[in-house]
């Protein structure tokens, strides 16, 4: 087990892949399909500067169906990480699920515990890195991502940069925050971290309410 001893108290920002980092093209695995979403580098830079580690958590059931190979997906990921690294962004780990419970082939046809919205990939990351998932965030672009983050015990942020095609499946599900972009998500996380620091330093000023006004008057 590896524990983080610096930064934001060993905390992690989990990120979905398609629709959050790269443009969702209904499954990207060819090099020419790699296209970062506008603002991704800026948003990741903010999160990284706050001391958070960045990890990708992604379903890649196309592997299980035999549509692509694991080598093709891994090659795409190496390209993605390389493009981000050129901009000073470091992704600490990629956790992926290759299974498809309905259309999987062979051993990949499996009702696993790691296919989002199930939380198995997050638990794997927590075990591997000694994480407190309640102190981590998951940023996704679908309601199933919100459910996955909730099931894992993470704080959830939904960004509107992907193909939000599953709202009808989860009508009562709401993320903690819903924002337009990864930059907006990063600014929210920065604000929450600053607020936590103020509280820990006992310099937090409570909201100015009518009750407080009466007491001061």
Q: Catalytic amino acids?
A: 16, 18
* CA angle, 8 then 3 then 175, to 5°: 50
Residue whose entry in the numeric block shows the structure tokens 């999160």: 47
Q: What letter would DSSP give residue 138?
A: E
Q: Round to the nearest angstrom and report the end-to-end CA distance of the chain.
A: 55
Q: What is the rounded distance in angstroms from the CA atom of residue 141 to the CA atom of residue 97?
A: 17
Strand bridging mode 137-140 / 12-15: parallel
Phi, psi angle pair for 181, to nearest 5°: -150, 170
Alpha-carbon distance values, 75 to 32, 56, 72, 106, 127 (Å): 12, 15, 5, 23, 26
Among residues 115, 73, 74, 78, the alpha carbon closest in space to that of 97 is found at 115
Q: Sign of the C-alpha dihedral, residues 77, 83, 86, 87?
A: negative
Q: How many CB atoms lie within 10 A of CB 2?
A: 10
């Amino acid at each position: 087990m590896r524990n983080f001893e610096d930064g934001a108290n060993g905390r992690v920002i989990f990120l979905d892949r398609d629709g959050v980092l790269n443009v969702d093209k209904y499954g990207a695995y060819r090099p020419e399909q790699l296209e970062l979403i506008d603002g991704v580098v800026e948003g990741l830079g903010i999160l990284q500067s706050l001391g958070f580690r960045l990890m990708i958590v992604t379903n890649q059931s196309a592997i299980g169906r035999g549509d692509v190979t694991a080598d093709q997906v891994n090659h795409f990921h190496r390209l993605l990480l390389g493009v981000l690294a050129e901009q000073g962004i470091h992704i600490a780990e990629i956790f992926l699920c290759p299974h498809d419970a309905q259309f999987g082939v062979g051993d990949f046809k499996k009702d696993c515990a790691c296919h989002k919205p199930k939380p198995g990939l997050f638990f794997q990351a927590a075990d591997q890195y000694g994480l407190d998932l309640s102190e981590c965030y998951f940023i996704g672009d679908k309601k199933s991502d919100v459910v996955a983050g909730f099931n894992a015990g993470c704080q959830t942020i939904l960004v509107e940069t992907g193909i939000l095609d599953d709202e009808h499946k989860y009508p009562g599900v709401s993320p903690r925050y819903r924002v337009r972009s990864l930059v907006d998500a990063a600014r929210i996380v920065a604000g929450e971290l600053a607020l936590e620091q103020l509280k820990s330093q006992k310099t937090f000023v409570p909201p100015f309410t009518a009750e407080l006004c009466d007491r001061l008057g």
